[in-house]
Amino acid sequence: MSSQPPHSTLLIPGPVEFDDAVLQSMSHFSESHVGAPFVGVFGEALTMLRKLFQTSDPASQPFIISGSGTLGWDQVASNLTEPGEDALVLHTGYFGDSFADCFETYGVRATQLKAAIGDRPQLDEVEKALKERKYKVITVTHVDTSTGVLSELKNLSETVHRVSPETLVVVDGVCSVGCEEIRFDDWGIDVVLTASQKAIGCPAGLSILMASGRAIETFKNRKSRPSSYFGSWKNWLPVMQNYEAKKPSYFATPSPQLVRALHTTLTQILSKPLEDRYAAHAAASRKVKQAVADMGLKQIASKPENQANAMTAIYLPEGVKPTDVLPKLGQKGVVFAGGLHKEIATRYIRFGHMGVSVTDPDRTDIDHAIEALKSSL
C-alpha cells in the first residue's frame, strides 16, 4: 500500500508519479550542505549517475545543480560554445526551437535541421549539413516531449565522429534518461543533459548533466570566460569533484532534500539491471501504442523506429479537442497532457509512461489509463 493519499494518476510526460520512499526523502530534516552526511549522499549520487549513463571513463564528469532541465541548455551554450561559433540543432519538435534560442542568447549561431512533424532528420541530411560548415556542437533531442519522437543516437554519433570529428555530440535527454537506453562511452557521446522529474523519478528541481572528458577539455581550452555565472562550470566543476571525493565544497547552496530524493531513486534504479528497466518501459510503450492503434488513433511520431518508449503523443479524432477529452480523463482519475507543438497543439494529447507507473508491478496505472482513454473518446 502506498503511503501517499489518494490522488489522480499523473501520466503526463513529466513530472511522473514518484515512489513513496523518494517522496519521504524529500521531507528529510534540515542538514548542512557542507556536513559529512550530506556530502556523502551528494558524492554517491554523482557516482551513481556514472552507472545510469553507462560511463566508466574516469574523465567523464557528472553535474547536479539546482534548476530545471532547461538549465542544461545554458550549461552547454555557455561552457562549450563561444560567441560567434556554430551549433547544429536537430529539430524534432518544440525543444529544438528552444535550445536554438538558448544558443542565440549566448551569441552562438544556431542552425536548425528540421524534419517534418513526427519525423526526425535523416543521417544523410546530417552528414550534408556537417560538411557545409564547421560546427562546434551538434545537439539532438533524444525524445522530444512535444511530439514523442525518438532520435537514434548510436549511428548519429558515429556519423558525426566520421564526418566532423571535432564536433561535440550533445544529447538533450530530459525525456529519455532512465527509460531509453543511453551508452555514453560506447556511443561516443559528449554531453547528456536531463532533469530529475521524468524517468529518473525524483521531483523537479535538479538539472542533471554528464560531460565527457573531451567536453571538459573543450571547456578548459575556452578562449573566453563562461558566458553564464550560475551555470558556469568554472564555478561548479571543483564543487562536483570535491563532493564526489567526499570533501565539502561551496559555490551556491544545493538542495539537500532534492539530492537525497535523487539518491533514493538512483539507488532503486541501480538495484536492478538497467536492461530490465528499459525492457519494462518498452513493454509498457508497446501496450499503449497497440491500444492507441486499436482505438483507430494515430501517433504524432510517424514511424515505429522514431516512436519513444517514454511517452505517446496521440492525434485525436477529427473535430475532437484536448479540452473535450482531458476533463473526462480527469474525472476518471487520470491526468494526461495537452499538445505543446504550436502547429498542432489543439489536435493531440500526450500520455507519459515512465517511472514507477511502469516499473512497479503493484501499479495498474497504464492499464487503467488505457481504459480511461477508450471510454473518454
List interacting residues with a second copy (CB under 8 A). 4-5, 7, 10, 12, 14-18, 23-24, 26-35, 66-71, 73-74, 77, 101-102, 104-106, 195, 197, 203-205, 225-232, 250-258, 335, 337, 340
Q: Please give the annotated binding residues for substrate, written as ranges.
A: 350
Cα(first)–Cα(last) distance of the chain, in Å?
Answer: 31
The minimum distance between CB 102 and a second copy, in angstroms, equals: 4
* C-alpha span between 198 and 288 (Å, rounded): 18
Nearer to a second copy, 21 or 59 (CB): 21
The minimum distance between CB 299 and a second copy, in angstroms, equals: 22
The minimum distance between CB 54 and a second copy, in angstroms, equals: 25
C-alpha cell at 280: 519494462
372 in Cβ contact with 329 (< 8 Å): yes
Residues in the chain: 377
C-alpha cell at 248: 565539502
Nearer to a second copy, 121 or 339 (CB): 339
Closest to 70 (Cα-Cα) out of 98, 36, 42, 50: 98
The minimum distance between CB 71 and a second copy, in angstroms, equals: 5
C-alpha cell at 185: 562511452
Q: CB 332: neighbour CB atoms within 10 A?
A: 15
Q: CB 370: neighbour CB atoms within 10 A?
A: 20
Nearer to a second copy, 250 or 364 (CB): 250
CA 234 to chain centre: 24
Strand segments (E) across the chain: 9-10, 61-66, 86-91, 109-114, 137-141, 143-144, 149-150, 168-172, 191-195, 206-211, 311-315, 334-335, 337-338, 348-352
Q: Please give the annotated binding residues, written as ranges.
A: 350
The minimum distance between CB 346 and a second copy, in angstroms, equals: 15
Going by their DSSP bridges, the two strands 311-315 and 109-114 should be labelled as: unpaired
Contacting residues for 126 by C-beta, under 8 A, at least 6 apart: 88, 90, 113, 138, 156, 159, 160
What is the side-by-side order of every strand in the sheet holding 311-315? 311-315, 348-352, 337-338
Q: Which long-range contacts (CB under 8 A, 24 or more apart) does 237-241 make?
A: 237/61, 240/46, 240/61, 240/62, 240/63, 240/64, 241/61
The minimum distance between CB 161 and a second copy, in angstroms, equals: 28
Amino acid at 94: Y
How wide is the angle at C-alpha 13 spanned by C-alphas 9 and 16, nearest 5°? 45
C-alpha cell at 127: 552528414
The minimum distance between CB 290 and a second copy, in angstroms, equals: 26
Nearer to a second copy, 35 or 317 (CB): 35
Nearer to a second copy, 35 or 84 (CB): 35
Amino acid at 31: E
* C-alpha span between 144 and 203 (Å, rounded): 20
Nearer to a second copy, 156 or 284 (CB): 284
Nearer to a second copy, 46 or 337 (CB): 337
Nearer to a second copy, 230 or 278 (CB): 230
The minimum distance between CB 200 and a second copy, in angstroms, equals: 13
